[in-house]
Structure 1
């Protein structure tokens, strides 16, 4: 997947994941969460099963972003 589609999917995934997980973040953090989630989710899905299509990429990106948010809540800075 090239960089531009990865960023677009990452932005959408970050937005969806932060809304699903009820996390209030600024725009750069949301994009970073989504992009890292897209990388994590994309690699995980490709390692587990061979799935094609942008919808599968979006699902993987959202799941990866949700995992990243969960890890951040568990092991990140405490407020």
Structure 2
């Protein structure tokens, strides 16, 4: 059940992160970035700050998604 919750949180985090960084991305990349960000951010937040609960997971997921979007824009999305 934790994985399903992480996917839901990740999808929301991807949406929030793309809006905060003003990135135009499709639905699938947004969700995938959010899920990956949720995994990265969730682990980082829990490991560093030992924050638990839904709010901590959401904050970590958004931070992780923001990091991934920044890396994507900086290194992978060369136009």
TM-score w.r.t. the length of structure 1 is: 0.94
1:17 aligned partner:
17
Cα root mean square deviation, aligned:
1.1
Unaligned runs of 5+ in 2: none
- 1:1-79 correspondence to structure 2 within 5 Å: 2-79=2-79
TM-score w.r.t. the length of structure 2 is: 0.94
Instruction: Give distance in 2, aligned partners of 1:53 and 1:2.
Output: 11
Unaligned runs of 5+ in 1: none
The runs of at least 4 aligned residues of structure 1 exceeding 2 Å deviation read none
Instruction: Give distance in 1, aligned partners of 2:59 and 2:31.
Output: 16
Q: Which moved more, 1:60-69 or 1:40-49?
A: 40-49
Equivalent residue pairs, number? 79
Give the secondary-structure state (helix, strand or coil) at the position aligned to 2:5. helix
